[in-house]
Structure 1
């Protein structure tokens, strides 16, 4: 518990003093907290407790809140769900308790899997999986690694989801078995709700939700890559930020709500609902980039269409042209004033 309360991410983002302290003091406080944490706890302990805490805060708590709203106000929820009443969770207490129990079991399983893999990698390489030091990563390094991690997650999720979890006609028995397990657990519900993020048979769950997040980050940290793409390995803070952002994204995507904010998150949520509505015949990726490239988009929209639709909705082209015209007019006025002063 003392480690959880001392996590610098929590103290930085949820401190009430953010409105009064300057940015420099916040960064100093963050650095001091992180340094104390690194010097007083093992890297593996920080990694496991932090990732579990992030999943609890950004998936379990919102999912239970959405579950409460869906069960207490079903008429309101179905009116703002992509699949309508099909996206509502079961109201039977026994069925609902089974879903919650399976979700919590998979949450514990993902922590156990990360503990085992990180321990084995650290034992083999004689160092922690992720770069854990008092030195904080640079903003540009964080941004570069986050983009790379999200791109790799998209590729891994698409390949695993399409070829292992939705491949009933595969000549190999393993994909057929995984497909059956995934269909009987995750796709036993006609529409998504946030709790289903962790509801699946343990084996498909690890392949679908754990491997695309952990494996690319661990590989970039420990493998001798032929190019300096990882820049000396993934920092643990970068990995934790990646876990937090990915968890928030997938929780909102699985909620099934039509009122999800954001230019692209609305499209992600809509494609997730379409994936459940068509019983897994398309929309295998997270963002839809791989589905667009491979032609497996379903539901009448893809990521390119979502971007165009949002651009038209917010009239980004007209706003850009208006801003450019205003800027050019201001520049002309400034030049006329200068020419008059010169005369």
Structure 2
């Protein structure tokens, strides 16, 4: 019975996918799918987390790994400045810049040069083995390209213009918080973020469905690696990525260039974490923030009760 249900669901999905492919242009299907994935897996959750940090900083600081430095305006909402909203604006602008460049590449290949599209857009669904193989190869290749671009373009004296822009933009942040994964000057963003993500899919010519799954994985990684929270899904994996990102920013960009850390270990650019000592310190800071929040809440309750009793008398 379950196999029959699975086959029926697969048939329904194939019919829906085929109808979508045959009723719309390939570029439209690709771009709508890409926009939906980027918004659902990065744009919307990161924006909601950012609003939580802004609207309830005294609560958010409890679960921030960098404490007050991991909040856009600190623990007080009135400390928010125009710069913090500019950071949000540039982050979202870069997000859509990447989408624009992707569409431009497809138009250039298909409409101008009359070549095949960068991604495979077909009514034929990819096999599970092909999806897994392309995902693994794409993630590995993206890690290599990210490391090379980050170390030798964004932090190297031989590329002074890009390195200077990256330093004055992204490294002006005092801590990571939601949406800052895309915050940078547009040129360093394209070199260090977009092309390392997009080129593996083009070189391996992913099926569009495989690309959307690959894009969802990377978008979720960016969402949680840059949220700054101590509590997150799959913290065993994403917690390490997030901590490496924090150390990279805190060190001024002197190491931790790759997203997963393997190439940093191999080529000696890894920034060592304090491990046990830092874990103990973060635990003490977390407990202190919890105690402070509880005390502040109790103080507010006592003051409110006192005011009510005063009015009654």
TM-score bracket relative to the smaller structure: 0.7 to 0.9
- Report the alpha carbon displacement of residue 236 of structure 1 after superposing the two structures with TM: 1.0
From 74, 77, 83, the counterpart of 1:95? 83
Supply the distance in 2 between the matched residues of 1:96 and 1:22 (Cα, whole angstroms): 50
Contact 1:132–1:235, Cα closer than 8 Å, also in 2 = yes
Supply the distance in 2 between the matched residues of 1:210 and 1:191 (Cα, whole angstroms): 22
Residue 295 of structure 2 corresponds to none
Supply the distance in 2 between the matched residues of 1:220 and 1:273 (Cα, whole angstroms): 32
Contact 2:72–2:80, Cα closer than 8 Å, also in 1 = no
Is residue 39 of structure 1 aligned with residue 11 of structure 2?
no
Structure 2 gaps, min length 5:
74-78, 276-313
From 250, 255, 274, the counterpart of 1:282? 255
Contact 2:134–2:204, Cα closer than 8 Å, also in 1 = no
Residue 59 of structure 2 corresponds to 76
- Report the alpha carbon displacement of residue 301 of structure 1 after superposing the two structures with TM: 7.2
Structure 1 stretches of at least 4 aligned residues deviating more than 6 Å after TM superposition? none
Supply the distance in 2 between the matched residues of 1:54 and 1:44 (Cα, whole angstroms): 15
Q: TM-score when scaled to structure 1?
A: 0.74
Q: Does 1 or 2 have the higher relative contact order (CA < 8 Å, sep 6+)?
A: 2
Q: TM-score when scaled to structure 2?
A: 0.80
Residue 307 of structure 2 corresponds to none
- Report the alpha carbon displacement of residue 131 of structure 1 after superposing the two structures with TM: 1.4
CA RMSD of aligned residues (A): 1.9
Residue 25 of structure 1 corresponds to 8
Supply the distance in 2 between the matched residues of 1:73 and 1:34 (Cα, whole angstroms): 42
- Report the alpha carbon displacement of residue 299 of structure 1 after superposing the two structures with TM: 4.0
Supply the distance in 2 between the matched residues of 1:124 and 1:85 (Cα, whole angstroms): 52
1:6-47: CA deviation from partner (whole Å, max 9, x where unpaired): xxxxxxxxxxxxx9x932222222111110111011211111
User: What are the within-5 Å matches in structure 2 for residues 228-247 of structure 1?
Assistant: 234-247=206-219
SS of match in other structure, 1:255:
coil
From 131, 149, 162, the counterpart of 1:160? 149
1:249-274: CA deviation from partner (whole Å, max 9, x where unpaired): 11110111111221211111111111
Between Structure 1 and Structure 2, how many residues are aligned? 266
Residue 186 of structure 1 corresponds to 170
- Report the alpha carbon displacement of residue 220 of structure 1 after superposing the two structures with TM: 2.0
